[in-house]
Amino acid sequence: MSDQQEHSTGGVYTVKGREFSRDSRYITTRIVAEPRPGTDDYPVEPGRYRLIAAFACPWANRAIIVRDLLGLQDVISMGNPGPTHDADSWTFDLDPGGVDPVLGIHRLKDAYEKRFPGYPRGITVPAIVDERSGEVVTNNFPQITEDLFFEWKPFHRVDAPDLWPADVRDEMEEVMHRVYTEVNNGVYRCGFAGSQEAYDAAYDRLFAALDWLEDRLATRRFLMGDAITEADVRLFTTLVRFDPVYHGHFKCNRQKLSEMPNLWGYARDLFQTPGFGENVRFDQIKQHYYIVHRDINPLGIVPKGPDLASWQSDPGRV
């Protein structure tokens, strides 16, 4: 394994002899209701932008879910790259001729290069592209979903959930930070550890966080109480990949998700909520990880299991 590897869901990461480290330098441009003077902000404008998001990628999956929860499907269009890609770019393998029907490109890299010739970092999803110019606007995945809530509010459906409730926002920010560092990124820290010592430490950190979440969900239906928030979206996209991918492929194998009662019930509760389960593609998830990560799975064999029918069973949450 080389000292640096490309991973198109998160840029460059370093693994040799130490723990996985994600390159989190993303395009800082935002799409906002009132562009700030002196910035390169783009204006909120229905019908102008296209969300490019692969169902296989957990970071992109959260943007897909938030777009649906807020009812922005007719306001922001969406293109979906296929589950596998090369070191160069995500590609539109699922579309006729391998071309995005709106942007007219084969590779997401084309939209990055159109705005930033010689773009030096990973071609990541999610990304939002300006349909007028064909240029990428942003790939800053945590900012994308936050802005979909705050900046696109006039275009939300009437009964859209309050994903960022003001009364718990400070605590929610702390919860989301721990979920990101210890769980969302923690599974990758296990999977791409560059030494036994790095793996052991990553494993312990991950399951300490999962134990904390298991305890937290013993006394509440969702992470912040009785209602779904952004924090739940961010945790869900990792949990839904846990048994099919992370347990075996990333060696996160102390327990399966299905063996952690509160987390398992919580995950199924979300899966069965409109906007969540219908935006999960287990076949694409498994193809992405097991085929693309040849440094971990050299033969590219995709496992047939596990049996996923239980996702539709009664979650037992109240």
Q: Which two tokens stand for residue 17?
A: 């002899």
Token look-up 């709106």 returns: 102
Angstrom CA distances, 289 to 113, 129, 147, 257, stand at 26, 25, 29, 18
CB proximity list for 162: less than 8 A, separation 6 or greater: 227, 229
Nearest Cα to 179, choosing from 218, 230, 117? Answer: 230
Amino acid identity, position 31: I
| 188 noted as active-site residue | yes
For 72-90, letters b (16+ CB in 10 Å) and e give: beebbbbbbbbbbbeeebb
- Could you tell me if 38 and 32 are in contact, meaning their C-beta atoms sit under 8 angstroms apart? no
Calpha distance 52→298 (Å, rounded): 28
Q: Which residue has the tokens 């979300």?
A: 270
Using CB atoms within 10 Å of the CB of residue 314, give its burial: 0 to 12 exposed, 13 to 18 middle, 19+ buried. Answer: exposed
Q: Is the dihedral of CA 283, 285, 286, 289 positive or negative?
A: positive
Q: Which of 26, 49, 112, 188 is catalytic?
A: 188
- Active-site residue (options: 49, 57, 190, 252): 57
Tell me which residues are annotated as active site. 57, 188
